[in-house]
Amino acid sequence: MQSIKNKIDQLAKTLGRKPVDDQPVDYQSLRSVYQQQANNDIKKIQQQAKKERIHNIHGRSDLNPKWTFDNLIEDSEDVIEAISIAKSFIAAHDDVDWRQSGSHMMIFYGDYGRGKSHIAGAIAHELIDQYEISVLYRQLSTLLEMRFSSFDYNAQDNIGEKFREVNQELLNVDLLILDEVCVNETILKKNTQSWLGNLLRQRLVNNKNCILITNHNLSELENALGHYCFESIKEYDTYRVQFSGPSRRKALSLENEETDYSNAYHPNQVR
């Protein structure tokens, strides 16, 4: 008759395992090995879950993926200073007391094409990757158009409900980036000033941060937003970053170019 050990050895051989030796089992060491394996498995699960969370935050942020610090050219004093302030703002998030002390706002103002939106986006990408901070990038003009359309009670596309959902996102997101603030606007309408002022005040109460981007100077911005709205901004811990100099965007030039009319459309041409 086979002993229990022989049966176990035979079963191990059938399963392709090594036979069990006669050495006494060190249960403490065995437990330590299993514990380490379990910890490694948990760590991998946590890393994968974090990666998925970060991916989802990026997906909801509506940020341009090209807006990173790696893609910035530090070739002027205003941009170099702006990047330095931006990185200090990011590093401050390591301090939990700073994050919980109040609401913080960065105001990027200055000429078109200087990289204001790019640097704001770079800040947002870093905060998502390092701290899993939720971000929402919106152009103010687009929000105002949606808000105006939401009052059309005959609309068939549920625009009112959509705007209420968007407005709730604007209140809840950790970092709100509002671009093109008062672009081509000398002054906002009174009801728009009230809506934006209330939005900023509610975010202030809930310790939510903002970045405002505008090509107005500060005095013009105050006039365009109105007293009530601008007073809301003053309540934040503000970081004002001025951009100057010519636009970085490529100019469209027709000099030394010959116009080719060979493929131009003619009224009688069949297409």
What confidence tens digit (pLDDT) does each residue in 116-135 have? 999 999 999 999 999 999 99
Lowest mean pLDDT among 123-137, 146-160, 195-209: 146-160
pLDDT beyond 50 at 143: yes
Tell me what the mean pLDDT of segment 215-231 comes to.
92
How far apart CA 117 and CA 161 sit, in angstroms, is: 29
pLDDT beyond 70 at 256: no
Confidence of residue 35 (pLDDT cuts 50, 70, 90): confident
Task: Show the tokens assigned to 219.
Answer: 């005095």
Confidence of residue 44 (pLDDT cuts 50, 70, 90): confident
What average pLDDT does the structure give for the chain? 83
Q: pLDDT value at position 21? A: 60
CA neighbor of 177 nearest in space, from 127, 131, 114: 127
Confidence of residue 168 (pLDDT cuts 50, 70, 90): very high
b/e burial code for range 134-172 (CB count within 10 A of at least 16 → b): bbbbbbbbebbebbeebeeeeeeeebbeebeebbeebee
Tell me what the mean pLDDT of segment 222-230 comes to.
93
Q: pLDDT value at position 24? A: 60
More confident of the two residues 85 and 251: 85
Q: pLDDT value at position 176? A: 97
How far apart CA 136 and CA 120 sit, in angstroms, is: 11
Could you give the residue ranges of the DSSP H alpha helices within the chain?
4-14, 27-61, 77-91, 96-100, 116-131, 140-149, 159-172, 190-205, 218-225, 227-234
pTM of the model: 0.76
Q: pLDDT value at position 5? A: 62
Task: Show the tokens assigned to 35.
Answer: 């514990």
pLDDT tens across 55-107, in order?
999 888 999 999 999 998 888 899 999 999 999 999 999 998 898 888 999 99
